[in-house]
Amino acid sequence: MNVKVAGTAGSDSRPAAPVDPAPPHIAARGVAVDFRIEERRQRVLNDINLIVPKGSFVSLIGPSGCGKSTLLKVMAGLIAPSEGDMRVAGLSPQEAVKARLIGLVFQEATLLPWKNALENAAFLLMTADETIKRREAFERAAAMLRLVGLDDADKKMPSQLSGGMRQRVAIARALALNPEVLLMDEPFGALDAITREEMSECLLDIWERTGKTVVLVTHSIDEAVFLSREVHVMGTGPARIIETLPISLPHPRTEGSYADPAFAAAENRLRGLLIESHRRRRP
């Protein structure tokens, strides 16, 4: 919006230059990734352009093997783009990782079996910050366990925890770093349907409380619609973003959100896009 500067007679009252909006928290511009397979270069991501505003919750959805996880790994600094530019909080992903701006949660919780829940939740923080005192690290980890609803399980070993509880510890471990961005690669994929719904509600509560930027890779249409402000649909051959769908469901979202007509409309749109994408993959 142009703002006119009021002034006295003879002063310059031309419109001031528009103020630039805050930079996106995550920005991909023309990102492409090539893998070398059997001496041949194969493009797996092509011309990815993506903007994720700060504090937003977005999902990446698409056919199996379409490159969703590859794109997430580019955001996390685990894979360097062959072309284009990826920025997280204005930094390269590698710089953002060093600044502890990024937290990662994978499908497998990968907890250390010889450490209890509290020790596991504190592990990454103590590894990333060698100067932090053990007591401070444990206090922060305990706070994150409370946030994910595991304050009474801090002394339990991984073998004593259910799949959903182990994944909560993994989320607490990532949050203990106090990252600005949380990247999640199918974190609930190995859970049963009811536990998955419970974890979705837990994640939504965490996002609403912390205001972090969340990017979720999922195969579940329901999960993407329930959790997200926007869903980015990826196609194949090579992978690209074929549509970005805003989700108009009001907050707070509850079990009743599944019955909202807006939920059904978004679900039907995403299902149609995925069906069309699968058809294009057929030889």
Segment 87-124, tens digit of pLDDT? 999 999 999 999 999 999 998 889 999 999 999 999 99
Q: Is the pLDDT of residue 189 over 90?
A: no
Residue 230 lies in a domain: yes
> Structural domain tally of the chain?
2
Residue 244 lies in a domain: yes
The residue ranges of DSSP E strands in 109-180, in sequence order, are: none
In this structure, of 31-40, 56-65, 109-118, the range with the lowest mean pLDDT score is 31-40
Q: Is the pLDDT of residue 56 over 70?
A: yes
137-187 pLDDT, tens per residue? Answer: 999 999 999 999 998 999 999 999 999 999 999 999 999 999 999 999 999
Q: Is the pLDDT of residue 282 over 70?
A: no
Instruction: Tell me which of 158, 178, 198 is where a domain ends.
Output: 178
Mark whether 250 and 196 lie in a shared domain: yes
Residue 6 lies in a domain: no
Domain holding 203, by residue range, is 26-101+179-281
Instruction: Tell me which of 132, 149, 178 is where a domain ends.
Output: 178
Mark whether 277 and 231 lie in a shared domain: yes
**Amino acid 281: pLDDT:** 64
**Amino acid 131: pLDDT:** 85
- What average pLDDT score do residues 235-240 get? 84
- What average pLDDT score do residues 231-257 get? 90
Mark whether 52 and 119 lie in a shared domain: no
Q: What is the mean pLDDT of the chain?
A: 88
Mark whether 96 and 234 lie in a shared domain: yes
Residue 18 lies in a domain: no
Mark whether 194 and 216 lie in a shared domain: yes
Q: How confident is the model at residue 207 (pLDDT cuts 50, 70, 90)?
A: very high
69-85 pLDDT, tens per residue? Answer: 999 999 999 999 999 99
d(CA 168, CA 150): 8
- What average pLDDT score do residues 247-258 get? 88
**Amino acid 283: pLDDT:** 52
d(CA 30, CA 51): 12
Mark whether 167 and 47 lie in a shared domain: no
CATH assignment of the domain containing 194? 3.40.50.300
Mark whether 51 and 185 lie in a shared domain: yes
Instruction: Tell me which of 145, 178, 211 is where a domain ends.
Output: 178
**Amino acid 151: pLDDT:** 85
Mark whether 277 and 190 lie in a shared domain: yes
Q: Looking up tokens 């509600």, which residue turns up?
A: 201
Mark whether 86 and 198 lie in a shared domain: yes
Mark whether 94 and 135 lie in a shared domain: no
- What average pLDDT score do residues 272-278 get? 86
**Amino acid 130: pLDDT:** 81
Mark whether 202 and 253 lie in a shared domain: yes
What sign does the CA torsion over 223, 171, 251, 212 have? Answer: negative
Decide: 50 and 232 in contact? Cβ < 8 Å: yes
Residue 36 lies in a domain: yes
Q: Is the pLDDT of residue 2 over 60?
A: no
* Size of the chain in residues: 283
Task: Report the Cα 60 to chain-centroid distance in Å.
Answer: 9
Residue 21 lies in a domain: no
**Amino acid 139: pLDDT:** 95
Mark whether 80 and 170 lie in a shared domain: no
Max mean pLDDT among 26-30, 127-131, 206-210 falls in 26-30
**Amino acid 23: pLDDT:** 63
Residue 31 lies in a domain: yes
Residue 9 lies in a domain: no
Taking phi over 0 as left and psi of -120 to 50 as alpha, with beta for the rest, 151 belongs to alpha
